[in-house]
Chain A
Amino acid sequence: MSEVPELAGRPLPLLPTTVVGSYSVPEWLERLKTDFYLHRISAAHLDEIHDVAIKAAIKDQERAGIHVVSDGELRRDNDIDYLLARIPGVTILNATKSYYYDYYDAEVPEPLATAETTALGLVDDFVFTRGQTDRPIKFSFTGPFSLSRRIRSSAYRDRADLVRSLAYALNGEARELVAAGATRLQIDEPFLAGYPDEVGLAIDAVNLVTKAVQADWALHVCYGNRYARPSWEGHYDFLFPAVLDAEVGTLVLEFARKGYGDLSLFERYPWERRLGLGVVDVKSEDIETPEVVAGRIRKALEVVPAELLIVNPDCGLRHLPASVARAKLRAMVAGAAAVRQELPDSPTVR
């Protein structure tokens, strides 16, 4: 029991560390992204800027000692638009913005095509990232339920059909990603906590996305991180038991900000897969100490076996200043390492 089982790729130590997806967006990058919408810089220049920023984000993660890294989602304006704008049949009513982080107004006037081979272009992003690091990569994208919440549509009598149609599109893209070498894929559902009554639909849609895609899948559900604020309140009770039917290997949850009371859900329900444990609060610039992180991990180990525990921030780091993000990641890695040393037969990263 010295390694976390992997579908593909390299073995990882116990308590591997990773990020949820997004990385610190510097203020100058925000300004340049907005400048693009104001026609002050070209798409070509912005692409080059994104490339440089992503390389730096990966380097930051590597230097912090993160085992599974991401591209920081730095090409994406927010959690929704990058995907919605690429799905055939989704109409962006006004493609200009006064601030890059704003959401588009999106509409689906006709039912979406259900062909599974629609390419959304995320493969290029993955291939670029693959070329920048030797570490395992997690590639995340927003799930169909959350995407649907930002779409106006009269094309579907039953809104659930819109969610399923989006899931088909994402499933096609997931196949392309795996064909390009992606092994760890994550579906983010940041809007789900606001609609707890619809968890069944969301999980059904997750399973349509993951269907027949041979990847190590994760599902991330949080209380929102728009502008570094929670969008919703409540507890993770609503996820259970529906989430037990999700065809994913890891459930990535927010704990550090809200406390660890919801860990009891893993005693009450038979979730015998991995838990991505949020150990740093991404909505606060206060930097956790390694001791605090270690304490949080130890608490989780009371209900989740070490071989099923992954250590990550509560959510994406996009709203944190880079220096704070780096410091939090370092604390997270150090805290995980401290607990790892306490475990029997603790391996090292190969």
Chain B
Amino acid sequence: MLVEVRPTRKLRGAGALDLTACLAPIVDALCADPLDLSRLRLVCDWVQYKNNFRDVIDVRPVLAPVQQNSDAADPEEDKLEIAVDLRRCGDGDLAEIVRHVLACRTDPDGLERVYLEDWSEGTTSRIWEFNSLYWRFLGVWEEVTGRRYEQALPGGQSDARNIAGVHDLIRQMFGVWDDLAAHAALPDELYVLELGVGNGNQAKTWLDEFAKLDAEHGTEYYRRLHYMMCDYSEHVLGLARENVSDHAAHVSSFPLDATTPMTALGFLRFKVFLVYISNVYDNLPTEDVAQIGGHTYRAELRAYVSNGDAARIAGEFGIEPRALVGAIDKLLSLGPELLVDALSANFPDVARAAAFWMQVWNALKLEERYLPMTGLDLYQIAPGVNGEMLRPMLERHGDVRMQVSNGAVASFVDTLALLHPYGRLQCHDIFVTDPHQYRTGFLGPGKYDGSIVNWVNGPLLQHIGRRKGFDVSYAPFAHRTGSNIVTLTAQVRD
């Protein structure tokens, strides 16, 4: 049996977690079971997100590769991973929970779960439909919770609206433009793009400061400026447009899926001088890959609600228990407003429909299993980017599990194609910047308001960027201390 305890800070100091007390009953229960302990991994995390998709103890089958020769004398057998959330070790009788989940290996009904999907790839799980729902109906969520989404961000505001940072960026850009102009190589149209524009506060600050600095600079760059605001949410895009109305002649807005900016912005290929992205990548679909015992696996997911939660929610909204999944399907496809029309007996108004949405979301959990990969080159991280890009990280860091950040990679790669040869991409987000972090902490997924948050695989973006001719660097967000936010900067190398 292999026991891996991720070295959380909670293991030391005053009020340290009593690891022995956590592990002893679990190990005792495992040893009492007849399973082959040589095929068992016990992985212990401190899941810092209070709202997450985990149970205190989860069982994850590690599936064996399909045998090419079914007559093989020694076919490889499945392995098992037991995942423990150390933060919740005091929540129950751990030995009993372990005995229960192990018994359910041969009696899956004993888990008492209502599944919302069959096993799926991590990026296509239904949890991403909930994430999408949040952004599509952000206005409803904000109204019901009485809280603007920006208040849910760490520190209560986007890191984007920092005047010193904005000035730095604009002045550097002026320097590039002055140089290009001196060589008669500055285009007539000067494009700046913001992905994930939010409520437009960043855009307004940026444009105000740009106009001011340009007037001081005396080069009339503002006259040639085109600021493109893009966001997935029509709601926030509308707010953003109002916010930047003073600059209306210089601003265009596009509803856009951040993973495919080229679909709407292909005409800007090699033309954009600055792409600005804030708090977008951590919220895009991702799945995990893991290196276990020298083999590479992808984590498949199955979303569920416990029978207990399902019965409670169905009861509260007057839904037949067996009709609950159908009601959730309708919520995800129609949204809370049309759900009122579709199921008016259960949801007399949007507030009740939103309450249903929030309760299902809070109850939503994930089962996981590991599926062996048959060749990294056959795995598509994102369009045009195959799994070979993962090889350096997987080969160098032994047994490791990490997010692939598929959506972030797709967005990043598609956005790089927009950059002018002297352009720059700047992104503020929560990035893993050292692969070692995958051994030392839990990096998602967590629930953040109605959305999903995963730390972004920074080393992977760095590697992919490098293979596409860009230097990708990370630095702590320079203009506010005490933030988890990291600044990614990508610029053409050589």
Contacts and interface: CB of A to CB of B under 8 A. Distances in A.
Asked whether A and B interact, the reply is yes
Given A99-B467, A196-B183, A233 B420 contact: yes
A152 interface: no
B388 interface: yes
A226 B270 contact: no
B14 interface: no
B304 to A, nearest CB: 39
Interface string B414-443: 000000111000000000000000000000
Interface residues of A, number: 18
B494 A103 contact: yes
B184 interface: yes
B383 to A, nearest CB: 11
Given A196-B183, A234-B184, A234-B185, A229 B492 contact: yes
B494 A27 contact: no
A82 interface: no
A227 B420 contact: no
Contacts of B183: 196-197, 234
B420 A27 contact: no
Given A99-B466, A233-B421, A226 B185 contact: no
Nearest to A232: B421
B180 interface: yes
A230 B468 contact: no
Contact of B421 (A99, A229, A235, A237): A229
A237 B183 CA distance: 11
Contacts of B468: 227, 229
Nearest to B186: A233
A103 B183 CA distance: 26
A197 B184 CA distance: 11
B492 A231 contact: yes
Contacts of B421: 224, 229-233
Contacts of A196: 183, 185
Interface string A203-244: 000000000000000000000101111111111010000000
Given A27-B388, A31-B388, A234-B185, A226 B377 contact: no
Grouping DSSP codes into helix (H, G, I), strand (E, B) and loop, the B interface class, with mixed when no group exceeds half, is mixed
A233 B388 contact: no
A32 B492 CA distance: 25
Contacts of B326: none
Interface residues of B, number: 19
B44 to A, nearest CB: 34
B308 interface: no
B469 A226 contact: yes
A336 to B, nearest CB: 26
B466 A232 contact: no
Contacts of A27: 377, 386, 388
A238 to B, nearest CB: 8
Contacts of A31: 388
Contacts of A231: 421, 492, 494
A245 B466 CA distance: 39
Interface string B363-379: 00000000000000100
A229 B185 contact: no
A227 B184 contact: no
Nearest to A257: B270
A227 B185 contact: no
Given A27-B388, A99-B467, A234-B185, A229 B494 contact: no
Contact of B185 (A224, A228, A232): A232
B348 interface: no
Nearest to B395: A38
B469 A227 contact: yes
Interface string A165-185: 000000000000000000000
Nearest to A234: B185
Contact of B180 (A99, A197, A233): A233
A12 B123 CA distance: 54
A227 B187 CA distance: 22
Nearest to A224: B421
B187 A233 contact: yes
Contacts of B377: 27
Contacts of A197: 183
Nearest to B391: A31
Contacts of B467: 99, 227
A230 B417 CA distance: 11
A232 B184 CA distance: 12
Nearest to A150: B494
Contacts of B466: 99
A229 B469 contact: yes
Interface string B438-478: 00000000000000000000000000001111100000000
18 contacts: A27-B377, A27-B386, A27-B388, A99-B466, A224-B421, A226-B469, A226-B494, A227-B469, A228-B469, A229-B469, A230-B270, A231-B492, A231-B494, A233-B180, A233-B185, A234-B183, A235-B184, A237-B184
Given A230-B421, A233-B421, 4 more contacts: A31-B388, A224-B421, A226-B469, A231-B421
